[in-house]
Chains A and B, each alone.
Chain A
Amino acid sequence: MSLDEKFSALRKGLLEFLLLKIIAADKVYVADILRQLSGTEFATQEGTLYPLLSKMRRESLLDYEWQESDAGPPRKYYKLTAKGREQLRELTDYWNKIHGTVKGLGP
């Protein structure tokens, strides 16, 4: 079993947290998000991202607006709602706690 596989559930679970982080930094559209994640362990694809983003919007963590692009049709630019920022704060705290626990245990 590869390392990737061992942590696949963990990576999947963290994706939403990372999306909140990316969108909190700047207004982005899907290609931006994919590019930022592409070099990392969390590289993902449109087929996963669109359903996840729409779910997060349904939970009113984020919202989008249409913006004209220089080339091609208008794009959906995503941004966080107040609830999304609140959630990001909570998740960051929780993540730091986990990180501390992992470091504190064992050798």
Chain B
Amino acid sequence: MNKVIAIHLHGTAFHLEEGGYETLRAYLDNANRQLEENPDKAEILADIEQAIADKFAARLNTSRNVVLSTEVQAVIAEIGPVTNSSDATTDDKANAKSDARPQPSTTAAHPGSKKRLYRIKDGAMLAGVCNGLATYIGIDVTLLRLAVAVLIFFSFGTVAIAYIVGILIIPKAETPEQIAATTGPSPTAQEFIRKAKEGYYEGFKTMHDREAHRAWKRKFKNEMRDWNRKLKEEFRWGFPCPPLPPVPSRIAIPPPDGFHVVMPILATLRALLILLCWFAILSLVTTGAILGVTLPGQLPVWAGVILLILAYKVAVAPIKALRRTYYYRFNGWPAYWHPFADLLHGLLTVLILALGVWLADCFIPGFHQALLNFPIFCQQVADSIQQWWHQR
């Protein structure tokens, strides 16, 4: 009879004989030390763990679910010692090619993966295209959404088609590495991954003592949750916002009453509102009246569009707040920090936009005339596209 130790490698659980566990721990500790200086350390270790997990899984079957010590040794022998190729080969290169010197030093300045364009579902309205693009170019997502929404109507669907193409070709950010890559070398994201790895290896040390291990696990989970929260805040808010209240320790909370009924209704309601808003804007731009009702006074069309978007924001705010409240409750998160946060956020965006236009109007000569001509220009562009459409 042998003692068995449970571990998880890159998300898959395994039972190892005690001797095998010691061997594996020594191996991973050594790999960790070897890669100390390597900027891709976390990623390489994850790859190695995945390779070990694959090889373990291949050796197990339904009737046998413990990895033997001899098998651990065999797998480690197959994978071989982890060598830090950064050191070895850059030295070789330095001897062979003196002109290649600047290359390694510049890449070393940007550790980890490059910034990439992904769709970000967290905080997305539809498929996360705007969210991802805003993060990629580093502007506020509400501004981009406004621009896209307005452009969709002035371009008569061309931008909408571009959006759909975006859904199809831009990958969704799913793994922590991809999420880290959306913002490029974001300090929080990188720290998150580094911490996760570090804590994970630290956890090995307490493996023998059950109580200590349990305490470590609790602490590690709490730490990771805090980091995760920071990461999410970074994505969610374009403007600095008051920090979320501290998370109470996470207990499995059953979904609140009516969760499964209310959520679909809210989602449908919101979708209907979006459609209504789009339809209203479309009819305003094409016919100059919202579903047959003309604008009051001498209000220009573009002001009508902004008013419609504002009206939509106001109408959708309580729905959004309700959804988030439900959602966070369900996930053991605190309720949405402020029921009108989204509304305020939208208003603030519009205000800042207006302030920017006003300042430009006051201080940039020629801007005033351009501003006056803008609606006419948009109308002309729309007309010419419409003409082109009908001529086809």
Q: A residues near B, CB below 8 A? A: 12-13, 16, 30, 44-48, 50-52, 54-55, 57-60, 66, 72-73, 76
What is the CB-to-nearest-CB distance from A87 to chain B, in angstroms, rounded to a whole number? Answer: 10
What is the CB-to-nearest-CB distance from A73 to chain B, in angstroms, rounded to a whole number? Answer: 7
Q: Mark B21-46, 1 if CB is under 8 A from A, else 0.
A: 00000000001000100111001100
The answer on a CB contact under 8 Å between B48 and A46 is yes
The answer on a CB contact under 8 Å between B84 and A13 is no
A52/B80 contact (C-beta < 8 A), A59-B103, A73-B50 known: no
The answer on a CB contact under 8 Å between B80 and A46 is yes
- A101 CA to B83 CA, complexed, in Å: 32
The answer on a CB contact under 8 Å between A55 and B81 is no
The answer on a CB contact under 8 Å between B79 and A52 is no
9 A-B Cβ contacts within 8 A?
A12-B88, A48-B83, A51-B35, A51-B38, A51-B40, A54-B43, A55-B89, A58-B108, A59-B104
Contacting residues, chain B, for A44 (C-beta < 8 A)? 80
- A54 CA to B177 CA, complexed, in Å: 13
The answer on a CB contact under 8 Å between B47 and A47 is no
Quick check: is B54 within 8 A (CB to CB) of the other chain? yes
**Identity of the chain B residue whose Cβ is nearest the Cβ of A44 in the assembled complex:** B80
What is the CB-to-nearest-CB distance from B110 to chain A, in angstroms, rounded to a whole number? Answer: 9
What is the CB-to-nearest-CB distance from B96 to chain A, in angstroms, rounded to a whole number? Answer: 8
Contacting residues, chain A, for B114 (C-beta < 8 A)? 60
What is the CB-to-nearest-CB distance from B111 to chain A, in angstroms, rounded to a whole number? Answer: 8
What is the CB-to-nearest-CB distance from A37 to chain B, in angstroms, rounded to a whole number? Answer: 12
- A62 CA to B139 CA, complexed, in Å: 30
The answer on a CB contact under 8 Å between A55 and B82 is no
Q: From residue 206 to 221 of chain B, which have CB atoms closer than 8 A to chain A?
A: none
The answer on a CB contact under 8 Å between B44 and A50 is yes
Interface SS of B by simple majority? helix
The 7 lowest CB-CB distance pairs between A and B, nearest first, are A45-B80, A47-B80, A54-B40, A52-B85, A46-B79, A51-B85, A47-B82
Contacting residues, chain B, for A73 (C-beta < 8 A)? 10-11, 50
The answer on a CB contact under 8 Å between B47 and A76 is yes
Contacting residues, chain B, for A72 (C-beta < 8 A)? 54, 57
From the candidates A13, A16, A50, A66, name the one contacting B47 in the complex (CB within 8 A): A50
Contacting residues, chain A, for B47 (C-beta < 8 A)? 30, 46, 50, 54, 76
Contacting residues, chain A, for B103 (C-beta < 8 A)? 59
Contacting residues, chain A, for B89 (C-beta < 8 A)? 13, 16, 52, 55
Quick check: is B107 within 8 A (CB to CB) of the other chain? yes
- A32 CA to B251 CA, complexed, in Å: 44
- A66 CA to B173 CA, complexed, in Å: 11
What is the CB-to-nearest-CB distance from A23 to chain B, in angstroms, rounded to a whole number? Answer: 16
Contacting residues, chain B, for A50 (C-beta < 8 A)? 44, 47-48, 51, 82
A45/B107 contact (C-beta < 8 A), A51-B35, A66-B175 known: no
**Identity of the chain A residue whose Cβ is nearest the Cβ of B75 in the assembled complex:** A46
**Identity of the chain A residue whose Cβ is nearest the Cβ of B178 in the assembled complex:** A66
- A48 CA to B57 CA, complexed, in Å: 22
A47/B31 contact (C-beta < 8 A), A52-B89, A58-B107 known: yes
Quick check: is B70 within 8 A (CB to CB) of the other chain? no
**Identity of the chain A residue whose Cβ is nearest the Cβ of B31 in the assembled complex:** A47
